[in-house]
Amino acid sequence: MKEATGDLSMTAVAIVAIAAIAAVFTMLIWPNIRATINRNTLCSQAINCTGCEGDVRQCMYIPADGGVPMPVPGGCPCDNEATP
Protein backbone atom coordinates (compact mmCIF):
# COMPACT_ATOMS: atom_id res chain seq x y z
CA MET A 1 0.00 0.00 0.00
CA LYS A 2 2.88 2.36 0.75
CA GLU A 3 4.27 1.83 -2.74
CA ALA A 4 0.97 2.89 -4.29
CA THR A 5 0.92 6.04 -2.15
CA GLY A 6 4.47 6.88 -3.28
CA ASP A 7 3.52 6.40 -6.92
CA LEU A 8 0.52 8.68 -6.46
CA SER A 9 2.70 11.34 -4.83
CA MET A 10 5.22 11.23 -7.67
CA THR A 11 2.40 11.49 -10.20
CA ALA A 12 1.07 14.58 -8.42
CA VAL A 13 4.56 16.13 -8.37
CA ALA A 14 4.98 15.44 -12.09
CA ILE A 15 1.60 16.99 -12.92
CA VAL A 16 2.38 20.12 -10.86
CA ALA A 17 5.82 20.42 -12.51
CA ILE A 18 4.35 20.10 -16.00
CA ALA A 19 1.69 22.71 -15.18
CA ALA A 20 4.35 25.11 -13.85
CA ILE A 21 6.48 24.72 -16.99
CA ALA A 22 3.42 25.24 -19.19
CA ALA A 23 2.46 28.39 -17.25
CA VAL A 24 5.95 29.87 -17.57
CA PHE A 25 6.04 29.10 -21.29
CA THR A 26 2.58 30.57 -21.86
CA MET A 27 3.15 33.78 -19.92
CA LEU A 28 6.82 34.56 -20.54
CA ILE A 29 8.11 32.84 -23.66
CA TRP A 30 5.19 32.46 -26.07
CA PRO A 31 4.31 36.19 -26.36
CA ASN A 32 7.86 36.96 -27.55
CA ILE A 33 7.79 34.11 -30.05
CA ARG A 34 4.40 35.19 -31.36
CA ALA A 35 5.51 38.85 -31.70
CA THR A 36 8.65 37.81 -33.58
CA ILE A 37 6.69 35.59 -35.97
CA ASN A 38 4.16 38.38 -36.56
CA ARG A 39 6.86 41.00 -37.19
CA ASN A 40 8.78 38.69 -39.55
CA THR A 41 5.59 38.00 -41.49
CA LEU A 42 4.83 41.71 -41.81
CA CYS A 43 8.44 42.48 -42.80
CA SER A 44 8.29 39.88 -45.56
CA GLN A 45 5.27 41.77 -46.98
CA ALA A 46 6.78 45.22 -46.38
CA ILE A 47 6.41 48.13 -48.77
CA ASN A 48 7.74 51.70 -48.73
CA CYS A 49 10.78 50.95 -46.56
CA THR A 50 12.99 53.87 -45.56
CA GLY A 51 16.75 53.78 -45.02
CA CYS A 52 18.31 52.12 -42.01
CA GLU A 53 18.41 54.01 -38.75
CA GLY A 54 20.67 51.98 -36.51
CA ASP A 55 19.72 48.39 -37.25
CA VAL A 56 16.03 49.04 -38.02
CA ARG A 57 14.26 50.40 -41.08
CA GLN A 58 10.72 51.74 -41.00
CA CYS A 59 8.39 49.91 -43.37
CA MET A 60 4.69 49.86 -44.14
CA TYR A 61 2.41 46.88 -44.76
CA ILE A 62 -1.09 46.51 -46.14
CA PRO A 63 -3.50 44.86 -43.66
CA ALA A 64 -5.23 41.61 -44.62
CA ASP A 65 -8.54 43.43 -45.09
CA GLY A 66 -6.93 45.62 -47.77
CA GLY A 67 -7.19 48.83 -45.77
CA VAL A 68 -4.78 51.74 -45.49
CA PRO A 69 -1.06 50.83 -45.25
CA MET A 70 0.17 50.78 -41.65
CA PRO A 71 3.69 50.88 -40.14
CA VAL A 72 5.29 47.59 -39.09
CA PRO A 73 5.39 47.63 -35.26
CA GLY A 74 9.03 47.79 -34.16
CA GLY A 75 10.29 48.20 -37.72
CA CYS A 76 12.11 45.64 -39.87
CA PRO A 77 15.74 44.58 -39.61
CA CYS A 78 18.04 46.34 -42.07
CA ASP A 79 19.08 43.04 -43.62
CA ASN A 80 15.49 42.54 -44.79
CA GLU A 81 15.16 41.94 -48.54
CA ALA A 82 12.15 44.24 -48.86
CA THR A 83 12.50 46.78 -51.63
CA PRO A 84 13.04 50.36 -50.42
Residue 49 has pLDDT above 80, yes or no: yes
Q: Where are the domains of the chain?
A: 2-77
Residue 12 has pLDDT above 80, yes or no: yes
Residue 17 has pLDDT above 90, yes or no: yes
Give the whole-angstrom CA distance, residue 81 versus residue 45.
10
CB 69 within 8 A of CB 62: yes
- Computed over every residue of the chain, the mean pLDDT equals 83
Residue 29 has pLDDT above 70, yes or no: yes
4 φ, ψ to 5°? -65, -40
